[in-house]
Amino acid sequence: RLGNRCVFDPSCSHYAEQAFREKGFFKGVKLTLIRLRRCNPSNGGTDLLKHN
C-alpha cells in the first residue's frame, strides 16, 4: 500500500493540472488517464509532461 505518497514526480495531481493548462481539456483528460493507468508500486520516478 502506498498511503498518501505518489510514486511519480511530479505527483499525479500536479501532472494533471499541468496537462489541462498546457494541452486543453480533451488532451488533458487523455494524458491524465494514461498516467493514472501507469500508477503502481513497481512504476514511478520522474515523469514530466512532454512539451511538444
Higher-confidence position of 42 and 31: 31
**Tens digit of each residue's pLDDT (9 = 90 or more) over 32-51:** 999 999 888 788 888 888 87
The pLDDT of residue 24: 97
Residue 15 burial by CB count (10 A; 0-12/13-18/19+): exposed, middle or buried?
Answer: buried
Other Cβ atoms within 10 Å of 19 Cβ, number: 20
| Full-model pTM | 0.82
**Tens digit of each residue's pLDDT (9 = 90 or more) over 2-22:** 556 788 899 999 999 999 999
Cell of 29: 483528460
Alpha carbon distance 44, 38 (integer Å): 8
